[in-house]
């Protein structure tokens, strides 16, 4: 209106490319020696950090839960004091063994003639209260709620008895007089015309021990094997999922649960898909997601109805025409899903790929990462030896910029899903994690903000020779977890727990 020229719109500066992370070996617990056989009961089957990242829990096939605690966070040492003491402050999280307990025992269902393994399928941390840690652990049928707390060991250190006043050589007690008072056999003082003073043992608490107590047992609610448990952000409820149903529990009530999802058909011959994983939204207590064997993810709103048979959103990727084969549906089955910490994205893992979904866009994944594309020509062999049914887990960094998942030959892969990132890192669960790493040529990538779907392939020959025969299907890295606030990954290779930092 005043004739002044309107300023020209300026383009937003392009996001600066992220610096690739330099992953290094940090720690290992339960490392296997050369030629040492691994017992099946010692193989790790679940890994989980707590919300603060100060504790880590693992479960194994023997029904045990092992807890680790962070050590560097407890040492409140200033840098100035560290320099005076001539030692350096650790720049990455370090953990130490804390305690372990037997969570589940093998059972037998006499009504169904079914043996129930003690193997721990999932572990979830609950909110801490008064310095005590709480966690849920489950095997195929039974969920248990555990409380782990430090308890002081009370010991009697003093009896308040003076040995010199004890009767000796048969002399009558109390014959020794001290002025006008007499001594009683237990060291008390008997005053003239009065009663002896009461003397009690002195109890002290100098030592502490960790005690794990099972507070509640949630049983007899699943006809099929439990594959997932997830606690709600409200701190009061959690869900458990098997192949056909998802149940909602209250932590305080163990004899009652509510069935909120039921995909069991009237005629089991009409069954076409099963539930493979389920998880609550990290901050919305009314929202949960569950995946299926057909490669789809359903978002459910608990406010819509008591029985959530209808989903609020459906995430699935439609296959290209003419690309369907005998193995298409098998490899499309999702083995694990994880919400990002902000709840904006869902990470899913099927047999061949890792997919990142935007909860606001149900037309397809915003990014797809090829995990072991070199195995595609070998699908027939993988089917014959049942390796095609292996269930790999996935995890995402706390800032949401990177994702990770495992593969065969005890390797796991870290992908950059941030703006301008094309980083793909292959690491092996050994003390030298980068010995299999092959540099990946830089490729342009889209940010998550642009709703363009991208496919990023890692090096096709990672750890594989020209004939493609060097991978080892017997050593597979199924379980791993990312620290909630640090670039630290904990992963399980058989009975060994490896940690890597960047």
Strand-pair category, 454-457 with 367-370? parallel
Which tens digits make up the pLDDT trace of 138-182?
999 999 999 999 887 777 776 655 555 544 444 444 444 444 555
pLDDT of residue 421 exceeding 80: no
pLDDT band at 420 (very low <50, low <70, confident <90, very high): low
Which pLDDT score is estimated for 352? 95
Reading the block at residue 77, the tokens are 């040492």
Compute the average pLDDT of residues 313-328. 85
DSSP line for 76-87: ---HHHHHHTT-
pLDDT band at 209 (very low <50, low <70, confident <90, very high): confident
CA-to-CA distance for 171 and 161, rounded, in angstroms? 18
Compute the average pLDDT of residues 241-269. 95
Compute the average pLDDT of residues 235-262. 96
Compute the average pLDDT of residues 104-133. 92
> Are 414 and 394 in contact, with CB atoms under 8 Å apart?
no
- Which domains does the chain carry? 22-72+91-145+215-435+465-499 (2.130.10.10)
What is the rounded end-to-end Cα distance, in angstroms, of the chain?
56
How crowded is the C-beta side of 351, counted as CA atoms within 13 Å? Answer: 21
Can you say whether the dihedral through the CA atoms of 273, 277, 281, 285 is positive or negative?
positive
Angle at 256 between CA 251 and CA 257, to 5 degrees: 75
Buried b (16+ CB within 10 A) or exposed e, 162-200: eeebeeeeeeeeeeeeeeeebbeebbbeeeeeeebeeee
Q: What is the DSSP secondary structure assignment for residue 21, as one 8-state letter?
A: P
pLDDT band at 203 (very low <50, low <70, confident <90, very high): confident
CA-to-CA distance for 480 and 493, rounded, in angstroms? 9
Which pLDDT score is estimated for 161? 54
Which pTM does this prediction carry?
0.80
* Residues in contact with 178: Cβ distance below 8 Å, sequence separation at least 6, in sequence order: none
Which pLDDT score is estimated for 6? 52
**C-alpha dihedral over 444, 450, 453, 457, to 10 degrees?**
30
Compute the average pLDDT of residues 305-324. 84
CA-to-CA distance for 502 and 487, rounded, in angstroms? 6
pLDDT band at 194 (very low <50, low <70, confident <90, very high): low
pLDDT of residue 468 exceeding 50: no
Q: What is the DSSP secondary structure assignment for residue 451, as one 8-state letter?
A: -
Closest to 41 measured CA to CA, from 59, 58, 63, 62: 62
CA-to-CA distance for 173 and 187, rounded, in angstroms? 10
Compute the average pLDDT of residues 48-61. 96
Radius of gyration of the chain (CA): 30
Reading the block at residue 68, the tokens are 């680790």
Across 170-184, 220-234, 317-331, 421-435, least confident range: 170-184
pLDDT band at 202 (very low <50, low <70, confident <90, very high): confident
CA-to-CA distance for 188 and 174, rounded, in angstroms? 10
- Helix (H, G, I), strand (E, B), or coil: what is residue 383? helix
pLDDT of residue 321 exceeding 80: no
Q: In what order do the strands lie in the sheet with 345-349?
A: 336-339, 345-349, 353-358, 367-370, 454-457
Closest to 211 measured CA to CA, from 273, 287, 121, 146: 146
- Helix (H, G, I), strand (E, B), or coil: what is residue 203? strand
pLDDT of residue 447 exceeding 70: no
Which pLDDT score is estimated for 466? 32
Reading the block at residue 158, the tokens are 């003093």
Place of tokens 């090829």: 370
pLDDT of residue 376 exceeding 70: yes
Beta bridge partners of 183: 189
Closest to 361 measured CA to CA, from 303, 317, 405, 416: 317
Q: In what order do the strands lie in the sheet with 189-190?
A: 177-178, 181-183, 189-190
Can you say whether the dihedral through the CA atoms of 391, 397, 400, 401 is positive or negative?
negative
Q: In what order do the strands lie in the sheet with 313-315?
A: 275-280, 287-292, 297-301, 313-315
pLDDT band at 183 (very low <50, low <70, confident <90, very high): low
pLDDT band at 245 (very low <50, low <70, confident <90, very high): very high
pLDDT of residue 484 exceeding 90: yes
- φ/ψ of 41, rounded to 5, equals -70, -15
Compute the average pLDDT of residues 218-234. 95
Which pLDDT score is estimated for 50? 95
Angle at 59 between CA 58 and CA 60, to 5 degrees: 125
């Amino acid at each position: 209106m005043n004739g002044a020229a309107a300023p020209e719109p300026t383009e937003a500066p392009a996001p600066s490319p992220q610096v690739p992370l330099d992953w290094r070996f940090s720690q290992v617990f339960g490392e296997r020696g050369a030629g040492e056989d691994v017992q099946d009961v010692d193989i790790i089957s679940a890994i989980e950090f707590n919300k603060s990242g100060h504790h880590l829990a693992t479960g194994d096939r023997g029904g045990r839960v092992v807890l680790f605690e962070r050590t560097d966070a407890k040492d409140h040492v200033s840098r100035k004091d560290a320099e005076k003491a001539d030692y350096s402050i650790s720049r990455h999280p370090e953990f130490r063994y804390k305690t372990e307990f037997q969570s589940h025992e093998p059972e037998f269902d006499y009504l169904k003639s079914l043996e129930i393994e003690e193997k721990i399928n999932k572990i979830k941390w609950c909110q801490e209260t008064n310095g005590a840690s709480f966690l849920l652990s489950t095997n195929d049928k039974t969920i248990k709620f555990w409380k782990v707390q430090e308890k002081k060991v009370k010991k009697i250190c003093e009896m308040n008895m003076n040995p010199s006043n004890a009767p000796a050589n048969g002399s009558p007690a109390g014959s020794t007089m001290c002025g006008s008072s007499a001594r009683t056999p237990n060291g008390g003082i008997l005053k003239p015309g009065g009663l002896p003073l009461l003397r009690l043992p002195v109890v002290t608490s100098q030592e502490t021990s960790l005690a794990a107590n099972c507070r509640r047992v949630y049983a007899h609610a699943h006809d099929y094997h439990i594959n997932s448990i997830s606690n709600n952000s409200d701190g009061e409820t959690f869900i458990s999922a098997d192949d056909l149903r998802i149940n909602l529990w209250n932590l305080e009530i163990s004899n009652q649960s509510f069935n909120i999802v039921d995909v069991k058909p009237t005629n089991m011959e009409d069954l076409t898909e099963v539930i493979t994983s389920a998880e609550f939204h990290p901050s919305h207590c009314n929202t949960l997601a569950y995946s299926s064997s057909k490669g789809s993810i359903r978002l459910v709103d608990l406010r819509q109805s008591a029985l959530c048979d209808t989903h609020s959103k459906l995430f699935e990727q439609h296959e290209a025409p003419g690309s369907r084969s005998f193995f298409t549906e098998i490899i499309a089955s999702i083995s694990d899903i994880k919400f990002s910490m902000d709840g904006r994205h869902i990470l899913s893992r099927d047999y061949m790929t890792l997919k990142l979904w935007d909860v606001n866009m149900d037309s397809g994944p915003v990014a797809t990462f090829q995990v072991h594309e070199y195995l595609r020509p070998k699908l027939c062999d993988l089917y014959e030896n049942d390796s095609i049914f292996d269930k790999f887990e996935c995890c995402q960094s706390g800032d949401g910029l990177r994702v990770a998942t495992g593969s065969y030959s005890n390797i796991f892969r870290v992908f950059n899903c941030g703006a301008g990132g094309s980083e793909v890192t292959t690491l092996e669960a050994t003390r030298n994690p980068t010995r299999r790493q092959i540099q990946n040529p830089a490729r342009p990538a889209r940010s998550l903000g642009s709703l363009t779907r991208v496919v990023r392939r890692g090096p096709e020959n990672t750890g594989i020779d020209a004939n493609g025969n060097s991978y080892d299907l017997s050593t597979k890295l199924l379980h791993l977890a990312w620290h909630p606030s640090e670039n630290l990954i904990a992963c399980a290779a058989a009975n060994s727990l490896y940690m890597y930092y960047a």
